[in-house]
Amino acid sequence: MTTTSPFNRLLLTGAAGGLGKVLRERLRPYANVLRLSDIADMAPPIDDREEVVPCDLSDKQAVHQLVEGVDAILHFGGVSVERPFEEILGANICGVFHIYEAARRHGVKRVIFASSNHVIGFYKQDETLDAHSPRRPDSYYGLSKSYGEDMASFYFDRYGIETVSIRIGSSFPEPQNRRMMSTWLSFDDMTQLLERALYTPNVGHTVVYGMSDNKSIWWDNRFAAHLGYAPQDTSEVFREKVEAQPMPAEDDPARIYQGGAFVAAGPFGD
């Protein structure tokens, strides 16, 4: 039986980011106190139901202090696009380790991990995947999210810390191009998915694709059916606007690969 009574204290990392700013408001019903963290500047607390705690995810001791006293973690912080490996390493790879290790030491039992479609970005757009499809990361960024999912599995198997890894497609106010007609996740659907991820019992390590009820999709969420996620929005309402854009060339990765342009980023530092 699920409940939506608020957690005492939730931690949101990445609170200064695009999604973080949206979730700061939307997560309020789920926590008596929302602890907001980022390396970048954040707006000050609006009331005593918010705590603003700056933290660099690559700093193990700082993350340990950040996690003290929280009941669950929504881990959205980190580098969110393709960058040189060295930048991804501290924020995403060390960062996710620091989050799980702090969760273990402080007895936190649930993490929601903002994974990404870029863990499977090298599949073509005519392929349909589920959570058991072998990963095909399209970037150092995608590799870091793939590592984060493995970290989640390990901390569940070894320590019983449960995680819902959300392979977010494209969560923006509107789909910005043809590819996002398939990958788009509305903010309302994202919020519903986070509610399900926080409150569904016995999730173990569940991988779910974060997409709205789009018409043409590449992902099958049957292995996450226990979450009861039922998206209400669809990219269809934006089709005319999106299709007014020029069609990408036939050999454009945006038209071929699920990960779009990420498959062609880099190399760096030559």
**Residues at the contact surface with ligand 15L, assessed by CB under 6 A:** 80-81, 116-118, 170, 180, 183
Whether 138 contacts 262, CB under 8 Å: yes
* Phi and psi torsions of 7, nearest 5°: -70, 160
Cβ proximity to ligand NAI: between 116 and 186 the closer is 116
Shortest separation between residue 261's beta carbon and ligand 15L, angstroms: 8
Distances (CA, A) of 83 to 47, 163, 207, 218: 36, 26, 24, 26
Tell me if 112 contacts ligand NAI by CB under 6 A. no
Tell me if 56 contacts ligand NAI by CB under 6 A. yes
Among 12, 114, 119, 161, binds ligand NAI (CB under 6 A): 114
State which of positions 58-87 bind ligand NAI (CB under 6 A): 58, 76-80
Tell me if 116 contacts ligand NAI by CB under 6 A. yes
Please tell me the distance from the alpha carbon of residue 143 to that of residue 217, in angstroms, as a whole number: 23
Among 146, 170, 221, 235, binds ligand NAI (CB under 6 A): 170
Cβ proximity to ligand NAI: between 7 and 209 the closer is 209
Shortest separation between residue 9's beta carbon and ligand NAI, angstroms: 19
Whether 66 contacts 11, CB under 8 Å: yes
Q: Which residues contact 149 (CB under 8 A, 6 or more apart)?
A: 113, 115, 119, 135, 165, 205, 207
Among 96, 168, 207, 242, binds ligand NAI (CB under 6 A): 168
Three-class DSSP category at 112: strand
Torsion of CA 74, 178, 235, 22, to 10 degrees: 30
Whether 112 contacts 166, CB under 8 Å: yes
Torsion over CA: 100, 105, 106, 107 (sign): positive
Cβ proximity to ligand 15L: between 9 and 147 the closer is 147
Please tell me the distance from the alpha carbon of residue 217 to that of residue 125, in angstroms, as a whole number: 9
Shortest separation between residue 203's beta carbon and ligand 15L, angstroms: 22
Cβ proximity to ligand NAI: between 180 and 203 the closer is 180
Shortest separation between residue 154's beta carbon and ligand NAI, angstroms: 19
Tell me if 17 contacts ligand NAI by CB under 6 A. yes
State which of positions 201-230 bind ligand NAI (CB under 6 A): none
Catalytic residue numbers read 141
Interface residues with ligand NAI (CB under 6 A)? Answer: 14, 16-20, 38-40, 56-58, 76-80, 90-91, 95, 114, 116, 168, 170-172
